[in-house]
């Protein structure tokens, strides 16, 4: 149990230090077998220690282990829905600035940069529902189909990966992409990459990854 707890608190600190969250916003989780560890409710991510993390059973949301006086993040249903719908090993949710700005303006992040493929394709915006509800969880799971990121309308962003550190890196990249897309759109009419080019980029990334793996 120790390694995932440490990975989660390290990830929480990394999110806080990256400036992706303000105050007590944002939450992270990591899958541990049939359960998940999730950051506690109303807690600044910079201050999360390994023993603060709450253990929740994925199947029914039952809290199995929580430090005295602490509760699982209010977005526990969202995290559970992501694990249910994917092979994710970790999930990061933030209210990062430009991701949130864009979530009020578009249905997907305009593909202004080839980095879009890091998320498995164009990043969709999940339709709005009240925070902490099963309705929001379902809408996010749907927007994430085949993707590693989604925006949440009028709310924020979510990323998933096999490991916490990678999900945090994706959250940072997502905020950068949202910032570029926002500013490009504000300045004019940016040229966009079409699906054929995004597929070529994905193919090129695969080729280079295989070449690097073979060289090792
Ligand atoms: Zn939120």
Instruction: Please report the pLDDT score of residue 209 as a whole number.
Output: 87
**Positions marked active-site:** 75
pTM reported for the whole predicted model: 0.95
Q: How far is the CA of 131 from the centre of ligand 1 (A)?
A: 6
Q: How far is the CA of 79 from the centre of ligand 1 (A)?
A: 11
Q: How far is the CA of 113 from the centre of ligand 1 (A)?
A: 26
Q: How far is the CA of 208 from the centre of ligand 1 (A)?
A: 36
Q: How far is the CA of 74 from the centre of ligand 1 (A)?
A: 8
Structure tokens of 64? 């199995």
Which phi and psi (to 5°) does residue 186 adopt? -65, -35
Three-state secondary structure of 162-200: CCHHHHHHHHHHHHHHHHHHHHHHHHCCCCCCCHHHHHH
Residue with tokens 């995932």: 4
Where helices occur in 62-194 by DSSP H, the ranges are 76-85, 97-103, 134-143, 164-187
Q: How far is the CA of 42 from the centre of ligand 1 (A)?
A: 11
pLDDT tens, 32-66?
999 999 999 988 999 999 999 999 999 999 999 99
Neighbours of ion ligand 1 (CB under 5 A): 156
Structure tokens of 81? 């829905």
Q: How far is the CA of 170 from the centre of ligand 1 (A)?
A: 17
CA–CA distance, 173 with 201 (Å, rounded to integer):
17
What is the mean predicted confidence (pLDDT) over 73-96? 97
Closest CA to 148 of 97, 203, 92, 107: 92
Instruction: Please report the pLDDT score of residue 1 as a whole number.
Output: 53
Closest CA to 88 of 30, 40, 134, 140: 30
CA–CA distance, 39 with 164 (Å, rounded to integer):
12
Residue with more model confidence, 8 or 213: 8
What is the mean predicted confidence (pLDDT) over 148-172? 98
The percent of residues above 70 in pLDDT, for the chain, comes to 100
Q: How far is the CA of 1 from the centre of ligand 1 (A)?
A: 26
Neighbours of 44 (CB within 10 A): 15
CB 91 within 8 A of CB 83: yes
Query: 3-class SS at 153?
Result: coil
């Amino acid at each position: 149990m120790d390694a995932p707890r440490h990975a989660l608190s390290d990830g929480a600190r990394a999110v806080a230090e990256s400036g992706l969250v303000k105050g007590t916003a944002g939450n992270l989780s990591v899958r541990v077998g049939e359960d998940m560890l999730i950051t506690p409710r109303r807690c600044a991510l910079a201050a999360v220690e390994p023993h603060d993390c709450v253990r929740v059973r994925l199947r029914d949301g039952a809290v199995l282990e929580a430090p005295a006086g602490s509760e699982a993040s209010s977005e526990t249903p969202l995290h559970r829905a992501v694990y249910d719908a994917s092979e994710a090993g970790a999930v990061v949710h933030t209210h990062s600035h430009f991701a949130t700005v864009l979530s009020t303006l578009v249905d997907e992040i305009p593909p202004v940069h080839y980095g879009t493929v890091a998320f498995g394709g164009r990043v969709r915006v999940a339709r709005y529902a009240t925070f902490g509800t099963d309705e929001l969880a379902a809408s996010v799971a749907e927007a994430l189909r085949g993707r590693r990121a989604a925006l949440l309308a009028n709310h924020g962003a979510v990323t998933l990966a096999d490991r916490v550190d990678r999900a945090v890196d994706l959250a940072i990249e997502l905020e950068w992409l949202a910032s570029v897309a926002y500013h490009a759109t504000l300045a004019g009419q940016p040229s966009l990459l079409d699906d054929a080019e995004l597929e070529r980029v994905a193919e090129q990334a695969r080729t280079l990854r295989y070449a690097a793996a073979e060289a090792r």
